[in-house]
Amino acid sequence: MTTKERSIIANPALAAEGHLKIDWVDAHMPVLNRIKEQFVKEQPFKGLKVSISLHLEAKTAYLAKVIQAGGAEVTITGSNPLSTQDDVCAALVEDGITVYAKYKPSPEEYKSFLIKALETEPDLIIDDGCELVTLLHTERPDLLKTIRGGAEETTTGIIRLKALEKEGSLKIPMIAVNDAYCKYLFDNRYGTGQSVFDSINRTTNLVVAGKTVVVVGYGWCGKGVAMRAKGLGANVIVTEVDAIKGVEAYMDGFAIMPMAEAAKRGDLFVTVTGNKSVIRGEHYEVMKDGALLANAGHFDVEVNKPELLAQSVSKRTVRNNIEEYKLKDGRKLYLLAEGRLVNLGAGDGHPAEIMDMTFALQAMSLKYVNEQYKAIGNRVLTVPYELDEQVARFKLESLGTSVDTLSEEQKAYLQSWQ
């Protein structure tokens, strides 16, 4: 069967638009392009199958093409029902990549795509939110046999992998791409910060200046969202469960308070905790009429949707990606992108220059896992510092600059106790 015959996508006729999108990001991903050049020469994945589950838009498509250029037979599926772009899928199929994905599949279809990506019996996987790994460790352990290892993209996925590892149940080596400096410092902070407002602004077409924005969670993503909200002129409130992060938010100039209080004050809420039910029934009861609710955490469990529905007398779509919930007392609350991560469900995700570094790390980490999987064993591995630093050096070189180098005298000074 050809790639085209195997693939399941919405509309092959959209390929030309998809190619344009991929060409645009290619021109803005110089670090990944350096790695592509190396891969073309070295063919690190020659004869191997790689299955990827990531938000399937243009930057991800380009990563898939880089891995293909390294010799791999690549299969790709989405990692969220709303973030897949059908034109990008069509372009990838034309380029010889097997795609199982479409925008807004049913939950059953979405899961069947993940399983199909694993049924290709890959040697290596790239996962986002631990979805492939979860299937491999629950319903389809039979498909573990060919897998040498893989790489995980996000915080939520790594929390799950570490829980599996702690229990002694992890059956493959997985490298924690999210925990590399060149990932969370830039992707989680600057990428999420910018793209969350890019998507909220275009979805709502409302002003941010003067509004009270409540950022729920002051981790790497939350810091970025709060910083950009402030830059747009909002009054920012942060809620946290970690006292140290609470002090950090306060010192960064934000108001910090429990959600019970913030719920009364917010005009726009953005959840970025990786936790569940951080906005729930008791909070809806006290929110202002017209409050906007958005989530940028990995799963759609941060804003409790069942409780919101239960407290509502009606629900309707009032704009693309905005649902109005009318509460029993007449107040209306607006949920963006069905409570799924707003920057991908209602936007194009992080800027290309940010994903350039993240996906350079992904590509290099996958190569590393393939070379070292026997030595690594079934555990969660941190990205080696040399790889992380190399991405940063490539990034600076692409900007036409560099950092200084320690002299031998300075090295000796820094290593001495005297």
27 class by beta-carbon count within 10 Å (0-12 exposed, 13-18 middle, 19+ buried): exposed
Residue 9 or 341 having the CB closest to ligand NAI? 341
> Other C-beta atoms within 10 Å of 94: how many?
14
The region of 1-9, 153-161, 201-209, 372-380 touching ligand NAI under the rule CB under 6 A is 153-161
**In the set 36, 280, 298, 367, which binds ligand NAI (CB under 6 A)?**
298
Whole-number Å distance between alpha carbons of 279 and 277: 5
Retrieve residue 95's tokens: 């380029």
- For tokens 């959600």, the residue is 259
Give min distance, CB of 184 to ligand NAI, in A: 6
Q: Which amino acid is at 167?
A: E
Q: Contacts with ligand NAI in 161-200 (CB under 6 A)?
A: 184, 188, 192
Shortest Å distance, C-beta 97 to ligand NAI: 23
Q: How far is the CB of 405 from ligand NAI (least distance, A)?
A: 31
> At closest approach, how far in Å is the CB of 70 from ligand NAI?
25
Binds ligand NAI by CB under 6 A, chosen from 9, 72, 130, 216: 216
Least Cβ distance, residue 336 to ligand NAI (angstroms): 12
Of the candidate spans 22-30, 59-67, 108-116, 234-242, the one that interacts with ligand NAI by CB under 6 A turns out to be 234-242
Residue placing its CB nearer to ligand NAI in the complex, 194 or 390: 194
Phi, psi of 242 (to 5 degrees): -100, 115
CB of 363 to ligand NAI, least distance (A): 18
Cα 55 to Cα 63: distance, rounded to the nearest angstrom: 11
Cα–Cα nearest to 43, from 4, 73, 7: 73
CA contacts within 13 A on the Cβ side of 274: 16
Q: Say which amino acid occupies 116.
A: K
Toward ligand NAI, which CB reaches closer, 39 or 269? 269
CB of 277 to ligand NAI, least distance (A): 8
134 lines the binding site for ligand NAI (CB under 6 A): no
Using CB under 6 A, which of 173, 297, 345, 351 touches ligand NAI?
297
- Minimal distance in Å, beta carbon 5 to ligand NAI? 33
H/E stretch holding 225 reads: helix 220-231
Residue 361 lies near ligand NAI (rule: CB under 6 A): no
Binder to ligand NAI among 64, 72, 296, 361 (CB under 6 A)? Answer: 296
Q: Does 222 bind ligand NAI (CB under 6 A)?
A: yes
Q: Which of 323, 31, 296, 44 is nearest to 183 (CA)?
A: 31
Token pair, residue 223, equals 């810091």
Token pair for residue 182?
A: 């060149």
What string marks each residue from 253 to 292 as x (binds ligand NAI by CB under 6 A) or -?
A: -------------------xxxx--x--------------
The least distance separating ligand NAI from the CB of residue 73, rounded to whole angstroms, comes to 28
- In whole angstroms, give the CA distance from residue 366 to residue 180: 14
Count residues binding ligand NAI (CB under 6 A): 28
127 binds ligand NAI (CB under 6 A): no
Determine, following the binding rule CB under 6 A, whether residue 219 of this chain makes contact with ligand NAI.
yes
**73-77/98-100 β-pairing:** parallel
For ligand NAI, which residue of 64, 99, 126, 341 counts as binding (CB under 6 A)?
A: 341
Residue 53 in contact with ligand NAI, rule: CB under 6 A: no
Q: What's 109-132 look like in SS3? A: HHHHHHHHHHHCCCCEEEECCCHH
Burial of 306: CB neighbours in 10 Å, binned 0-12, 13-18, 19+: exposed
Handedness of CA 280, 283, 285, 291 (dihedral sign): negative
Helices within 58-101 (DSSP H only): 58-69, 86-94
Specify the residue, 184 or 334, whose C-beta has the smaller distance to ligand NAI.
184
Tell me the residue nearest to ligand NAI as measured from the CB: 219
Tokens representing 407 are: 């002299």
Nearest distance, CB of residue 152 and ligand NAI, angstroms:
10
List strand residue ranges (DSSP E) for 296-375, in order: 312-319, 322-327, 332-336
Rg (the chain; Cα; Å): 22
Q: If binding is defined by CB under 6 A, does position 218 make contact with ligand NAI? A: yes
- Write out the residues near ligand NAI by the rule CB under 6 A: 154-156, 184, 188, 192, 216-222, 239-242, 245, 272-275, 278, 296-298, 341, 343
